[in-house]
């Protein structure tokens, strides 16, 4: 699929039909964003709470940030910073472009380990400073404009594993028809 592609859809329609009665399973099989640009990790002396509120270059400068392309094809969540194993007390950024054929409202769902901030087209749309493991999904209804919409996620990790899951659905939880995801600088 390369850097350009669509949201990854359920690869096994038979399994999805068989498990259709389970809300949890249906959510896990929903389209996940898999094409990203990654910057980080960024570190500072201090606790994770300070990392969550500290604005690093991807939030402030927006130019000369060393982004690297990252696509994951296994599972529904990223479990470490791309290319990095030491993730205690650090922050990483992931960005992607959601290309919508029309203006519409969507439901952005995110899970993180630990805290997360989300910006859509430069506007802060979600801020969850909690210390948590993957699994609890935050849900935010947001408007997409017709054409390109930049999604920037900031994940700050206190200690242990780092992780992220992200999916874009219709307000009632269905796949978004015609939505493309493009990872580009």
- As a whole number of angstroms, the distance between CA 104 and CA 160 comes to 38
Q: What is the CA radius of gyration of the chain?
A: 16
Q: What is the pLDDT of residue 64?
A: 86
Q: What is the pLDDT of residue 179?
A: 95
Q: What is the pLDDT of residue 22?
A: 34
CB count within 10 Å of CB 181 equals 25
Q: What is the pLDDT of residue 18?
A: 36
Domains present along the chain, CATH in parentheses = 4-182 (2.60.120.380)
- As a whole number of angstroms, the distance between CA 182 and CA 145 comes to 15
| pTM score, whole prediction | 0.80
Q: What is the pLDDT of residue 46?
A: 61
Q: Supply angle C-alpha 48, 53, 56, rounded to 5.
A: 100
Q: What is the per-residue burial (b if ≥16 Cβ within 10 Å, else e) of 83-101?
A: eeeebebbbbbbbbbbbbe
Q: What is the pLDDT of residue 20?
A: 40
CB under 8 Å, gap of 24 or more: what pairs does 125-132 form?
A: 129/49, 129/52, 129/53, 131/48, 131/158
Low-confidence ranges of the chain (pLDDT < 70): 1-30, 46-49, 73-86
């Amino acid at each position: 699929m390369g850097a350009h592609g669509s949201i990854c859809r359920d690869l096994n329609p038979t399994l999805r039909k068989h498990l259709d009665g389970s809300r949890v399973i249906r959510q896990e099989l929903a389209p996940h964003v898999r094409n990203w640009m990654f910057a980080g990790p960024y570190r500072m002396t201090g606790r994770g709470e300070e990392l969550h509120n500290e604005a690093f270059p991807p939030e402030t400068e927006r130019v000369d940030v060393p982004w690297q392309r990252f696509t994951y094809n296994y599972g529904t969540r990223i479990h470490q910073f791309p290319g990095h194993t030491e993730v205690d007390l650090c922050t990483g950024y992931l960005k992607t472009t959601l290309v919508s054929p029309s203006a519409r409202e969507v439901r952005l769902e995110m899970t993180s380990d630990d805290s997360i901030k989300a910006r859509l087209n430069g506007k802060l749309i979600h801020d969850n400073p909690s210390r948590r493991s993957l699994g609890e999904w935050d849900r935010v209804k947001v408007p997409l404009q017709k054409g390109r919409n930049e999604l920037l996620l900031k994940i700050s990790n206190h200690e242990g594993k780092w992780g992220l899951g992200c999916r874009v659905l219709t307000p009632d939880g269905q796949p978004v028809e015609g939505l493309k995801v493009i990872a580009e600088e």
